[in-house]
Amino acid sequence: MKQGIVTANYPMSQGDFILACHTKADFMERDAVAFTTRGVNQARFDAFNEQTQVCAKLPSDQQLDFEKQGFTDAALKQRGVVESGMATVMSQVAIVHDNRSPAYKAFGSAGLYDASEGDFYVNMGHLLDWATAHVTEYKTQGLSPAQLAELTAENEKYLAALKLQRLAISTRSATTQTRQITLNAHYDELSALCGIGQGLFKQTDVSKYDDYVIDPTEHSDGPATPPAE
């Protein structure tokens, strides 16, 4: 079964969620004795606090995008190197053949500047194969096997850059999904602990009950504040 995109379960921003975890943890510490009557011990609180720290250190969208953009920029830069080499080759060919002639068009350079990434790589390979097969015809114009071999290597570097870019995009997506799964799991634990807290004080203390309401809009007396030191 195809896995869908994981979305946030918490009704707030990621930053506000982490803040809520810290705030609710203060309330739990305050009411730790009451929580023990429901089987919640200090070890569970400690694990919750440790996971809050882990969640706070998860990379932001901006950081993930920066890493991905670096590979995209590298691919674009490498394409520029190949395009420059292609322009040199075609200028040498143009000395012999008019750019409207069949002989010139046989190289297939028309439209390469606007070609998609895949089409550019593949068709650049065709151009280089054709040029290599006819290199002796343009020897006087300076076209050489070494020049074409170097350009072929640059085209392969372009492919490598594209592969790194695609991997970065995939990694960014996977990291985003993993991050959201981690945050959702922590929210589930926050909800469970706050549910216990609400159950403890529902009939006895409205103020403490509100302390364990996660969505501020649901408070009966407005947002609660953390307990004093």
SS3 per-residue string spanning 133-194: HCHHHHCCCCCCHHHHHHHHHHHHHHHHHHHHHHHHHHHHHHHHHHHHHHHHHHHHHHHHHH
Quick: pLDDT tens for 93-110: 999 999 999 999 999 999
Would you kindly state where each structural domain of the chain is located, as residue ranges?
A: 14-62+170-218, 73-168
Q: What residue ranges of the chain have pLDDT lower than 70?
A: 1-4, 216-229
Q: Give the per-residue pLDDT at 115.
A: 95
How much is the pLDDT for 229? 45
Q: What is the pLDDT of residue 95?
A: 96
Q: Residue 59: what pLDDT? A: 84
pLDDT for res 89 = 97
pLDDT confidence of residue 4: 67
What CA–CA distance (Å, rounded) separates 186 from 196?
A: 15
Specify the pTM: 0.65
222 by DSSP, 3-state: which?
coil
CA distance 196 to 42: 14
pLDDT of res. 76: 96
